[in-house]
Amino acid sequence: MDFFLLLVVGVTGVLALAFAFVSYGRITRFTVENERVAELSEIIHRGAMAFLYREYKWLLPFLIVVGVILLFTIGTASGVSFIVGGLCSAAAGYMGMVVATRTNGKTAFAATRGMNEALTMAFRGGSVMGMSVVGIGVLGILACFALFPDPAIITSFGMGASSIALFARVGGGIYTKAADVGADLVGKVEAGIPEDDPRNPAVIADNVGDNVGDIAGMGADLFESYVNSILAAMAVGLAAFGMRGVIYPLVMAGIGILASIGGTAFVKVKDGGNAAVALRKGTFVTGGLMILGSLLVTLALFRDLSLFWAVLSGVGVGVIIGFVTEIYTSGDYSSVKHIAASSKTGPATVILSGLAVGMKSTVVPVILICIATLVSFRFGGLYGIACAAVGMLSITGMALSVDAYGPIADNAGGIAEMSHLPKEVRKITDKLDAIGNTTAAMGKGLAIGSAALTALALFAAYAHSVKLSAIDLNDPKVMVGLFLGGMLPFLFSSMSIQAVGRAAEAMIDEVRRQFREIPGIMEGTGRPEYEKCVDISTAAALREMIIPGLLAVVSPVAVGFGLGAQALGGLLAGSIVTGVMLAIFMSNSGGAWDNAKKYIEEGNFGGKGTPEHAAAVVGDTVGDPFKDTAGPSLNILIKLMSVVALVLAPLFV
């Protein structure tokens, strides 16, 4: 029976990859009958893939070195699983990047045929990313479990995935925000030209950055969340229920894949219809199918519904956190409108308003995470918390499909602008892009909520491994670990934001130089040197990502060996608390500033070219590294530190 269930889970993983392959085939068969659109799409594709190749060249030696160290210190299974996890994460990011950069121009051209054609193309590109992540994740875990049938040992698969994800998130965030800041401050504010104007030397780097940060970066982020939630539940479940506890989270992941495939059929809209409603319908159908499937499987495996309520709490809280995130970051609600109104008194009040909104936005998500933790523990103990994280991430296939659709739509709008396609086309791509901002906010909300529950599950697995029954605050070493853990997310965020600042300074200098020295650039007769801006972002991202990335790996090792297992428990507890708070605060502040700027660009408070718009652009510039570099990376930081501690736990006992 156990073998049969694992075989069924493997089949769902194959189905996910088959779905991605079929979707990619449909994308490639669509012909772009506009040379300029095809040319721009190819330029963006080459820039994105060049960055990815250079990044992976840097990360491969790291993966091998750490894998060899684990092989000799922990065992063969740990070293092999680490390398396999890292390679799977890289493969998922690569597949998503290839397809997204091939889909953006096709989406722009599809918009000449109507809203439904454009939405279908953009979502189809996003679904390749979503289904690749869940398919590769499930099959990678099953392969390691088949080779080394001990869930505690193969947790290093998650460590490998988290390591690659952190570097990808930080590096991608630095790349995209350096380009974005340079394009906005010099192009919009100083030169007074529109966004995505081909006269802006940083415009190609900015479009490349959308894929580097929000496709490869977000894909790697949710990939490591997805696999770590499953691995943590497997490790805790073995102690609680034996093989049933190991198989249950894998079966839940398989149900989530089938539910996501079913949900994609509902993402359709007639011309004149609401694309946002279509995307929500697909998400709700996926969630409904997942809940029904988990109910039946829980009854079949345990003859009891207790764990179902734990899973349901995770699914429900994940969806609600997404909507709460939308309330604080969407231009349809009062928070963003208040930030936009504060632009009347200058950039300082814009920044103050955004900071206040971000801080306030932590309250409801944290309460919801607390509720999910208490409910899931009530019905399943520590295993229930792990299952809640699995439930929250079980719909990753659909959630990431919807999330990855956003950058594709954004790129399509830029290509439409640079290709001088009719205004009706740009209206369609703008609508899709605006919806993409909301879907991105919901995706980040899901990432934050799942990060908290997954980190708690990994912490529980670590505590079980080192026989840590309680955190003793009377122990000075534990207090030291607690303070160090609370400090690390702040240090990590500082490093990430400073890295964006340094890269942005180089980008601003280059854009100003080109405006100053290239004849005819403002008249449209001179060609900007796009390649130099792409190279600046690439070099800066690869250089600056190293130290923040190593911080997450080295810190738990140093505290574990230097102060012991209990102090390391304190380090993890402190990092989870402050890391979750900072991640919510920075992601939502940045999203609110971004949409306040867009709200003004729609014609409110004077519209584009006014002092109010300039003030909002400054706020958005501050928010860029908040929402796309430091904030999302913190989700990975707290999980990577926890999984490093779990993998190395045998050395601290």
pLDDT at 355: 95
pLDDT at 342: 93
Residue 269 has φ and ψ, to the nearest 5°, of -145, 140
Shortest CA distance to 386 belongs to which of 240, 526, 188? 240
Confidence tier at 10 by pLDDT (50, 70, 90):
very high
**pLDDT for 608-639, tens place per residue?**
888 898 899 889 888 888 888 888 888 888 88
| CA 340 centroid distance within chain | 26
Has residue 2 got a pLDDT over 80? no
Calculate mean pLDDT across residues 515-534.
79
**For residue 210, what is the enclosing H or E element?**
helix 203-211
Structure tokens given for 169: 């998130």
pLDDT at 441: 64
**pLDDT for 288-324, tens place per residue?**
899 999 999 999 888 888 999 999 998 888 878 878 8
3-state secondary structure of 332: coil
- Are residues 220 and 101 in contact, defined by beta-carbon separation less than 8 angstroms? no
Alpha helices in 466-608 (DSSP H): 476-517, 530-544, 546-563, 565-601
3-state helix/strand/coil string of 112-165: HHCHHHHHHHHHHHHHHHHHHHHHHHHHHHHHHHHHCCCCCCCCHHHHHHHHHH
Has residue 442 got a pLDDT over 90? no
| CA 295 centroid distance within chain | 28
pLDDT at 438: 64
pLDDT at 299: 92
Structure tokens given for 65: 């070195």
- Are residues 232 and 453 in contact, defined by beta-carbon separation less than 8 angstroms? no
**Lowest mean pLDDT, pick from 277-291, 376-390, 433-447:** 433-447
Confidence tier at 87 by pLDDT (50, 70, 90):
very high
- Are residues 442 and 322 in contact, defined by beta-carbon separation less than 8 angstroms? yes
**pLDDT for 32-68, tens place per residue?**
888 888 888 888 888 888 888 888 888 888 899 999 9
What's the mean per-residue pLDDT of the chain? 85
Calculate mean pLDDT across residues 116-124.
85
Shortest CA distance to 389 belongs to which of 459, 329, 469? 459
Structure tokens given for 376: 């899931």
* Torsion sign (Cα): 305, 311, 315, 321: positive
Q: Is 72 exposed, middle or buried (0-12, 13-18, 19+ CB in 10 A)?
A: exposed
Structure tokens given for 415: 């290509």
**pLDDT for 450-499, tens place per residue?**
888 888 888 888 887 888 777 777 889 999 999 999 999 999 999 888 88
pLDDT at 32: 84
Has residue 272 got a pLDDT over 80? no
3-state secondary structure of 467: coil
- Are residues 226 and 260 in contact, defined by beta-carbon separation less than 8 angstroms? no
298 vs 523: which has the higher pLDDT: 298
Report how far apart, in Å, the C-alpha atoms of 302 and of each of 249, 306, 380, 652 are: 13, 9, 12, 35
Structure tokens given for 267: 């993402």
pTM of the model: 0.87
Alpha helices in 330-362 (DSSP H): 334-341, 347-360
Looking at 380-452, which runs of residues are DSSP E strands?
none
CB under 8 Å to 367, separation ≥6 — which residues?
none
Calculate mean pLDDT across residues 337-342.
93
Calculate mean pLDDT across residues 391-410.
83
pLDDT at 455: 86
Using a pLDDT cut of 90, give the percent of the chain over it: 26
Gap between the Cα atoms of 379 and 44, Å rounded: 49
Gap between the Cα atoms of 105 and 488, Å rounded: 41
Has residue 537 got a pLDDT over 70? yes
**pLDDT for 126-159, tens place per residue?**
888 889 999 999 999 999 999 998 888 888 998 8
The end-to-end CA distance of the chain, in Å, is: 36
459 vs 182: which has the higher pLDDT: 459
